[in-house]
Amino acid sequence: MNWEKMLSERCREWEASGRDRSLCTLRQDGLYLYSGNKRYLNLSSNDYLGLSMLDYSELDLPAYYKREFGSHSFSPFPHGSPASRLMTGNCPEYDVLESELGALFPDKQALVLSCGYMANSGLLPALVQKGDMVLADRLVHASIVEGMRSLPFHRFRHNDLRHLQDLLRRTTHPERTWVVVESIYSMDGDYAPLHELAELRSTYGFRLYVDEAHSFGVCGPKGAGLCAQQGVLDAADLLVCTFGKALAGAGACVLCAPVVRQYLVNTLRPLIYSTALPPCTLQWVGMVVHEMRCRTFAPGVPNMAAQRNKLAALVQKASELTGQPAGSHIIPILIGSDKRAVEIAQTGRREGLWLTAIRPPTVPDGSARIRLSLHAELPPEYLNRAFQICNKAG
């Protein structure tokens, strides 16, 4: 069969089943998205603190860097980077950002990469040695699954520590085992049992890898994440934090012991063989992390702690509306049918709310859903509208 014809038939199958994906050009303007001339309230953004909607977005970053970090802390040409970090792309903004992250996590060192997918897909292949084993929660992100493909691994049932313990008991060398979890799971919005994992680690001696993508900036003292909030930072051998969600930027970092960082500089292929981030991206993220640690703006600009508090109040409002215990800022509304989830998302858009249907393979078969992403600047009254649309259409 002609390969293009085969691909065309596969695309038609996806369309018929409600699993077809397409790119939609959207322009963001504060609370809203524009598709063509139509405006939608954005309920699908990972900008959890609403930073893109505040005065931060208009900040003169070179002036800020000169004031806070010195005249040699920023690059004259901020828009691109013509090489990898190990060639000539390691600009001064990397030093500023990694220093700020180190101050936020005093017992760890930071290594910044270009995105979370690169970090998660590259870390385990770089670190796992012959004779090691990887045990990963069933719902870890696709980027982590990508990194495990060439390694010996097992998946344990989601948040099922009894199953994990059974696997650890059967492992020949538990101290050479990596246990991989997300602190807040991206599609279900629930939390990993970090205290219990820390206790298991003290018993079995495994290495704990925590992806903090959806908690960094939102949870914990100064936004340092859920491990920091629950007092188990010492138990995490690797923390992955991304900048494209609560920090409204781009890029990611791994936080680890100094010797692990040095080892990764020599072995982490996504770092070694990828073009460095442009200085302008690093300037934004460095500013945000600095403001997480110590507010420097004038009194009229909301600080990061205030934004976290607003988001927490919104989560509580969602709990009151649904009658469910307060969870995280990610609220999945389970629909089941792929087609029905798409129809509900379209209903929301007709009413001016940008809802997104999440379907397999992102989630398991039969668990298609609408995923609401709350952010600190969202007017609470729109939550009720979104829930009504989903309940009525469902």
Catalytic residue numbers, as ranges: 46, 141, 182, 186, 211, 214, 245
CA distance 220 to 227: 8
CA distance 101 to 190: 25
Put the strands of the sheet holding 109-113 in their side by side order. Answer: 109-113, 252-256, 238-242, 207-211, 177-182, 133-137, 153-156
Burial of 173 (0-12, 13-18, 19+ CB in 10 A): exposed
CA distance 31 to 44: 11
CA distance 92 to 108: 20
CA distance 90 to 73: 12
**In residues, how long is the chain?**
394
Burial of 285 (0-12, 13-18, 19+ CB in 10 A): buried
Pair 162, 136: CB distance under 8 Å: no
CA distance 366 to 368: 6
CA distance 339 to 335: 9
Tell me the one-letter amino acid at 156. F
80 Cβ contact partners less than 8 Å away, ≥ 6 residues apart: 278
